[in-house]
Amino acid sequence: MASSSWNLTPIVFVLLSLFVSSAFANFYNNIDVTWGDGRARILNNGDLLTLSLDKTSGSGFQSKNEYLFGKIDMQLKLVPENSAGTVTAYYLSSQGPTHDEIDYEFLGNLSGDPYILHTNVYAQGKGGREQQFYLWFDPTADFHTYSILWNPQRIIFSVDGTPIREYKNPESLGVPYPKNQPMRMYSSLWNADDWATRGGLVKTDWSRAPFTASYRSLNQNACIWSSGKSSCNSNSPSNNAWLNQELDATSQQRLQWVRKNYMIYNYCTDTKRFPQGFPAECSLQ
């Protein structure tokens, strides 16, 4: 007995390390660098990716797979110090004029001034559903996890596991919801100093270029869409608990804490923009 369990120990360790090392997607196998002419780099055998931006160009990548629903987690460390004028985008999107899209955009700032985390949801080509937040930490000092949970009932944006936004399926109100178009994951770093920082007042300081953002620990718990079929049809539903996930009471409280203390813009309370009344889906917030 004692000797057999002793002998198993190394095997268990090997299996465990295989499991742990494959828990995160390798960037080489899971993404394609799509632009930037060498400014996007995959490092550390596929565990790390960096995007950079200089006066000539930004850079970007996209997932090899398309998804129809999923839970995507990725750790980002944003452009440090004076990042004013830069935007780091991380989003899911389908193609075409009636596309769906679920967006994170990180708007840079002067050293010591807060980034803005901008979110939006497009359904069938229509967006305009912005919510913006400050973060409760310095997103340039270390990696933090930014997640998109997308299932047929809701979209939940979370930061380090804390939900910051829930967008519920508004189809019962006659408003379309992203549900029928497979989406890819995209990320890019680019210059947007015409609008990003203090509404475009603060310009990019090119003497500080290149600007660099880093990525690691991509986790794609998603239904892969390929040749008109979802990988989730054949999977056991127990592996896909996120397909029915909703916010429990604790998460609801966390969400309220974020909304109360860190939300700086919500289209659903912008009376100047919607003098005739808010969009129908606002009643679900």
Ligand X SMILES: *[C@@H]1O[C@H](CO)[C@@H](O)[C@H](O)[C@H]1NC(C)=O
Q: Which residues bind ligand X (CB under 6 A)?
A: 107, 109, 113-114, 116, 196-198
Please report how close the Cβ of residue 139 comes to ligand X at its closest, in angstroms: 12
Please identify, using beta-carbon distances, which residue of 25 and 87 lies nearer to ligand X.
Answer: 87
The residue annotated as part of the active site, out of 105, 166, 246, 281, is 105
Taking the least distance from each CB to ligand X, the nearer of 82 and 93 is: 82
User: Distances from the Cα of 105 to the Cαs of 62, 138, 160, 196, 272, in angstroms?
Assistant: 15, 16, 16, 10, 23
Q: Which helix (H) or strand (E) holds 57?
A: none
- In order of 40, 81, 115, 136, the CA distances from 27 in angstroms are 11, 26, 26, 28
Which of 93, 117, 278, 101 lies closest to 196, judged by CA?
117
Closest CA to 186 of 98, 65, 61: 61
CB of 198 to ligand X, least distance (A): 4
Query: Rounded to the nearest whole angstrom, what is the least distance from the CB of residue 116 to ligand X in the complex?
Result: 4
User: Nearest residue by C-beta to ligand X?
Assistant: 113
| C-beta closer to ligand X: residue 139 or 182 | 139
Distance of CA 79 to the CA centre of its chain: 16
> Which residue among the candidates 66, 81, 101, 281 is catalytic per the annotation?
101
Are 140 and 83 in contact, with CB atoms under 8 Å apart?
yes
Task: Identify whether 105 is a catalytic site residue.
Answer: yes
Q: Is position 101 annotated as part of the catalytic site?
A: yes
Give the residue with the Cβ less far from ligand X, 191 or 197: 197
Task: Choose between 78 and 156: whose C-beta lies nearer to ligand X.
Answer: 78
Torsion sign over Cα 52, 109, 106, 248:
positive
- In the complex, the smallest distance separating the C-beta of residue 164 from ligand X, rounded to whole angstroms, is 16
Core vs surface per residue 136-148: b (16+ CB within 10 A) or e: eeebbeebbbbbb
Write down the least CB distance from residue 263 to ligand X, Å.
Answer: 12
3-state helix, strand, coil in the chain (%, to 5): 25, 40, 40
The residues annotated as belonging to the active site are: 101, 105
